[in-house]
Structure formats: structure tokens, C-alpha cells
């Protein structure tokens, strides 16, 4: 369920974990209500410090994606999240813009970018 962490990557370890959970939820791989591993267990599995996993879970809780019940563990929220309306669209546009820039510099035409996205979407739905 979790893929290995890259400790040399530029994005901090705790955020790599956050992304993994968010991706899992967005793609449906992790269903609402699902119990997450204890931060200690996940730390062992990912070969990182327990505090680091804890920080990721805290971040997810702050984002309203995860709920922690004392003595029970951490769970994906049933109604995962209220999409913050405007701000999020802006973020979306910015990521899209970066994608376009990268594509241009790599010499990939627009149509190829669109096809790439369609392919990824199909892949995650299957």
C-alpha cells in the first residue's frame, strides 16, 4: 500500500507521506473510513523516524483528510474533505501551468500532454 520513501529527494519525507495518502484517497485506493497503520508501524515499514510519520499524520489531520481517535488509531475521514473553493482552483491552474512549461521545454506538443493525462486517469480508474 505504501511505496518506498526517497530520503534524498527534495520534497521532505513527511510530505512524501502526505502525498502518498492524498493520492491513495483521491484515486480510491484507500477507501473512506480505512484505518491507517500506526505511525510507529509505518515508520518501520518506510524506514523513517516515527516522529516523521507522526508529522505527516498531523498534517493530514489539519487538512481534514484524516481523523485520529485516541487509543484507536488514525482513520481516513468518512466525508474526506470540503473542497476549499477558490484557492484550490488557483492552485490547480498553477500546477497546470507548470505542466505546460515542462512540456514545451521537453518538446511535447499540447495534444500529447492531454493524452498523457487521459492515460493516467484511465490507469487509476482501472
Partner DNA sequence: GTGGTCTAGACCACC
Partner DNA sequence: GTGGTCTAGACCACG
Give me the least distance between CB of 8 and a copy of itself, in Å please. 5
Cell (9 digits) for 119: 492515460
Q: Nearer Cβ to a copy of itself, position 44 or 81?
A: 81
Nearest C-alpha neighbor of 65 from the set 77, 51, 47, 73: 77
Q: Does 44 bind a copy of itself (CB under 8 A)?
A: no
- Measured between alpha carbons, how far is 11 from 22 in angstroms, rounded to an integer? 15
Give me the least distance between CB of 4 and DNA, in Å please. 12
List, in sequence order, every beta strand (DSSP E) within 20-96: 66-69, 73-76
Give me the least distance between CB of 66 and a copy of itself, in Å please. 10
Q: Does 38 bind a copy of itself (CB under 8 A)?
A: no
Amino acid at each position: 500500500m505504501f511505496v518506498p520513501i526517497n530520503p534524498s529527494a527534495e520534497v521532505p519525507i513527511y510530505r512524501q507521506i502526505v502525498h502518498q495518502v492524498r493520492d491513495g484517497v483521491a484515486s480510491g485506493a484507500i477507501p473512506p473510513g480505512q484505518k491507517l497503520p500506526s505511525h510507529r508501524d509505518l515508520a518501520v515499514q518506510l524506514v523513517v523516524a516515527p516522529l516523521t510519520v507522526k508529522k505527516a499524520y498531523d498534517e493530514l489531520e489539519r487538512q481534514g483528510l484524516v481523523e485520529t481517535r485516541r487509543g484507536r488509531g488514525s482513520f481516513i475521514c468518512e466525508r474526506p474533505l470540503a473542497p476549499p473553493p477558490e484557492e484550490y482552483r488557483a492552485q490547480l491552474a498553477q500546477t497546470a501551468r507548470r505542466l505546460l512549461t515542462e512540456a514545451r521545454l521537453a518538446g511535447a506538443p499540447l495534444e500529447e500532454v492531454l493524452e498523457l493525462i487521459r492515460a493516467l486517469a484511465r490507469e487509476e480508474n482501472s
